[in-house]
């Protein structure tokens, strides 16, 4: 599994470069191996280090820890995801189960932040589901009805009030949920790396080539070494499929985002000096956009099946142009050349938006597929899959396992054709909000 990320992610570039990087270059054995050092893998490693302080725990990533999707997202710690409303009590109950997982995810991240006094630009400002299309008012009203039934604090906002809050008159209607949190994903994941227990050894830039199980041991071959382990946790999220794990139940999607430079005082004043905010689209392929603590604007308005995983500079430039147009539509008073960086990242999705959290063999475990909500859910699942792998059971595991499992997907090439067709359709529906 070879992975190459572009080096232009603003969240990553905000951080000081790390110097204590180890590359796997020998043959090792251990009690525990975690593959993937994003939110899930780091959380699992931290929990195992706490549970087994005298055991050897290895954590391996194909690239630099935390610099995949964990740092490449939009920085939303979500409490809810948009739904058009439900027609049955069963559907409502399923949504409640999903929302319960989001809450647990927020709780586990909040606990980590408090315990380690992490500065990650934490802002409990909530989030907006917003649209420029007045016809989407009905969707948000249906969603409001769902949230009211479940007791979520929220409110519908229109026109001038919305313009004042966001600094743009592009949107006409929005639903604000109070429980959503904005943060700096790079700072959060860096803190998770820096606070790993002493008995966790991290190897980076070490690609897993293949793996197999013989008797009760798992043998893993890497680019420059190998590891034999008693138990393994796969936490590679968007790369599960490439490792032939739950391959018929998940698929990767490439997202691309751009970030502006910080707005000058004059530019900030020209948009009304709004407080930090985050907007998610009403239509699935509309733009995700937010303002950061330091007055930068992030926009993400592309989602696609992209192969290979690494995106060329020319491809990034094409997508940056689309995102410049998206910012200009919302903030015409800002300069043309305001975008500072553009980057891509991989997310993992399932057909029915359920996550993967499983014991797939006696000593093989997997967690992933967060469908765009990986900060909280990924951190939660990492902690709890470590507990499950330790043959323990918690109320959190009970909540996780109460959700429906991912549904089967068709084989290639039918899968990619279906995904591409769906993305085109959703992009057409959301065209006014891209």
User: What whole-number distance in Å separates Cα of residue 263 and Cα of residue 261?
Assistant: 6
User: What whole-number distance in Å separates Cα of residue 275 and Cα of residue 316?
Assistant: 29
Position 2 scores a pLDDT of 45
Domain with CATH 3.30.9.10 in the chain: 124-183+253-350+422-433
Separation in Å, CA 323 to CA 162, 165, 306, 319, 330: 22, 22, 18, 6, 11
pLDDT (mean) for 24-39: 98
- Predicted confidence band of residue 54 (pLDDT cuts 50, 70, 90): very high
User: What whole-number distance in Å separates Cα of residue 429 and Cα of residue 417?
Assistant: 19
Q: Counting Cβ atoms within 10 Å, is residue 160 exposed (0-12), middle (13-18) or buried (19+)? A: exposed
Strands 173-177, 154-158: parallel, antiparallel or unpaired by DSSP? antiparallel
pLDDT tens string 189-222: 999 999 999 999 999 999 999 999 999 999 999 9
Structure tokens at 249: 């139940």
Q: Is 301 left (phi over 0), alpha (psi -120 to 50) or beta?
A: alpha
pLDDT (mean) for 353-364: 94
pLDDT (mean) for 108-131: 98
pLDDT tens string 266-277: 999 999 999 999
Domain with CATH 3.50.50.60 in the chain: 10-72+187-251+351-419
- Predicted confidence band of residue 309 (pLDDT cuts 50, 70, 90): low
- Predicted confidence band of residue 327 (pLDDT cuts 50, 70, 90): very high
CB 327 within 8 A of CB 51: no
**CATH T-level fold of 124-183+253-350+422-433:** D-Amino Acid Oxidase; Chain A, domain 2 (3.30.9)
pLDDT (mean) for 29-48: 98
The CATH superfamily assigned to 10-72+187-251+351-419 is: FAD/NAD(P)-binding domain (3.50.50.60)
pLDDT tens string 120-170: 999 999 999 999 999 999 999 999 999 999 999 999 999 999 999 999 999
The secondary element (H helix, E strand) that includes residue 200 is strand 200-203
Structure tokens at 310: 């690494």
pLDDT (mean) for 73-94: 89
């Amino acid at each position: 599994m070879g992975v190459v990320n572009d080096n232009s992610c603003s969240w990553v570039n905000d951080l000081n470069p790390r110097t204590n990087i180890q590359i796997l270059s020998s043959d090792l054995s251990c009690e525990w191996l975690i593959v993937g050092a994003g939110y899930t893998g780091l959380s699992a490693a931290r929990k195992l280090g706490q549970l087994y302080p005298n055991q050897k725990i290895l954590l391996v990533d194909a690239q630099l820890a935390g610099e995949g999707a964990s740092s490449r997202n939009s920085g939303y710690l979500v409490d809810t995801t948009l739904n058009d409303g439900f027609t049955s009590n069963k559907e409502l109950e399923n949504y409640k189960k999903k929302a319960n997982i989001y809450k647990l995810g927020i709780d586990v991240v909040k606990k980590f932040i408090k315990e380690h006094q992490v500065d990650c630009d934490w802002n409990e400002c909530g989030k907006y589901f917003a649209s420029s299309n007045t016809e989407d008012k009905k969707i948000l009203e249906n969603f409001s009805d769902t949230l009211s039934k479940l007791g979520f604090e929220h409110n519908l906002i229109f026109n001038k009030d919305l313009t004042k809050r966001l600094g743009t008159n592009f949107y006409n209607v929005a639903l604000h949920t109070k429980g959503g949190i904005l943060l700096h994903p790079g700072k959060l994941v860096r803190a998770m790396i820096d606070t790993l227990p002493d008995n966790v050894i991290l190897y980076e830039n070490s690609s897993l080539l293949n793996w197999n199980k013989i008797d009760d041991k798992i043998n893993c071959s890497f680019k420059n070494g190998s590891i034999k382990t008693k138990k393994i946790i796969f936490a590679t999220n968007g790369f599960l499929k490439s490792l032939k794990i739950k391959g018929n139940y998940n698929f990767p999607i490439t997202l691309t985002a751009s970030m502006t430079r910080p707005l000058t005082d004059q530019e900030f004043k020209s948009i009304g000096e709004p407080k930090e905010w985050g907007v998610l689209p009403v239509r699935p392929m509309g733009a995700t956009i937010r303002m950061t603590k330091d007055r930068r604007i992030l926009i993400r308005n592309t989602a696609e099946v992209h192969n290979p995983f690494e995106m060329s500079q020319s491809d990034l430039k094409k997508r940056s142009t689309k995102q410049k147009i998206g910012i200009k539509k919302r903030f015409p008073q800002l300069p043309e050349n305001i975008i500072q960086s553009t980057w891509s990242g991989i997310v993992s999705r399932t057909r029915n938006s359920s996550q993967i959290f499983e014991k797939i063999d006696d000593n093989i475990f997997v967690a992933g597929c967060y469908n765009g909500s990986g900060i909280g859910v990924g951190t939660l699942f990492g902690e709890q899959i470590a507990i499950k792998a330790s043959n323990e059971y918690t109320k959190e595991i009970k909540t996780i396992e109460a959700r429906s499992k991912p549904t089967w997907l068709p084989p290639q090439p039918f899968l990619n054709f279906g995904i591409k067709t769906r993305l085109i359709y959703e992009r057409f529906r959301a065209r006014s909000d891209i």
